[in-house]
Amino acid sequence: MLDAGGAELAPCEAARARQLLAAGRATPVEGEEMTIRLPYAVLRPAARVRHEGAQIAPGTPLLLHICCGPCATYPVPRLRELGFDVAGWWYNPNIQPAEEHTRREEAARALAGRLGLPLAAGAYEMERYEAAVRGDEARPERCRRCYRLRLEATAAEAERRGIGAFTTTLLISPYQDQAALREIGDEVAAAHGLHFFFENLRRGWAQRGRLAREYGLYMQQYCGCRFSLAERIERRQPAGKER
């Protein structure tokens, strides 16, 4: 959500955004999916960001799980601003079909090259994802199992490299369950003797769209798994048309 001057405000629920649009109290931002603009400026005190634990020492290594190129556009510079020495990690066996996985990985690598971000990739283990969600294909449990699979792989990679902290670009998306990501991230981190770094990165969602277009990155149209693709097709199906 933006104010009249373009300043980023705290995200609101999708239902609330629809209410504001319907009442004429906000307008959609062209080209910015899920972003609305208020017709007035909002005066706010200087932003303060609180972080749990000790103060971050400049150059502290952090492994960043990257779910896609666009979603990394804001987190990478933000984490560097906080003092982290960021390395990227691509592990997304949920993405289907394989051609879509390749296209998204290429976008992530293009962004990494532009930002000078070291980026390594895990194997594309679609079967492992399918096994992880089998029996719980409906949301929200499907998503929780997917989060755990990807964060567990990220933690294992961080531990293997001797990196003490990790996080994920999934935290930028208003479509993802941020509370579940934090809960699972903390659990996985504790099991590996690491720290899961949490910050509400959704404040950078509007920048994500602008930067992705500026960098010419591929902008995907669904979360990634075959279930989310089917759900998107279902939502776009005209009412009353036979399926």
Q: Which of 127, 68, 128 is nearest to 103 (CA)?
A: 68
The length of the chain in residues reads 243
pLDDT in tens, 158-197: 999 999 999 999 999 999 999 999 999 999 999 999 999 9
How do strand 119-121 and strand 165-168 relate by DSSP bridges? unpaired
- d(CA 34, CA 13) in angstroms, rounded, equals 10
Which residues, including other chains, have CB under 8 Å from residue 237's CB and lie 6 or more apart?
Answer: 243
pLDDT at residue 238 is higher than 70: no
* Ordered structural domains, the chain, with CATH: 1-48 (no CATH), 60-215 (3.40.50.620)
Q: Is the bond into 97 cis (omega within 30 degrees of 0)?
A: yes
Indicate the pTM of the whole model: 0.78
Q: What are the CA-CA distances from residue 152 to residues 6, 34, 162, 166, 196 (Å)?
A: 38, 29, 15, 10, 11
Percent of the chain with pLDDT over 90: 69
Q: In this predicted model, what pLDDT tens digit does every residue of 22-48 receive, in sequence order? A: 877 778 887 666 788 776 554 443 333
Residue 124 class from Cβ within 10 Å (0-12 exposed, 13-18 middle, 19+ buried)? Answer: middle
Strand order in the sheet with 165-168: 119-121, 84-90, 60-65, 165-168, 195-196
Q: How confident is the model at residue 17 (pLDDT cuts 50, 70, 90)?
A: confident
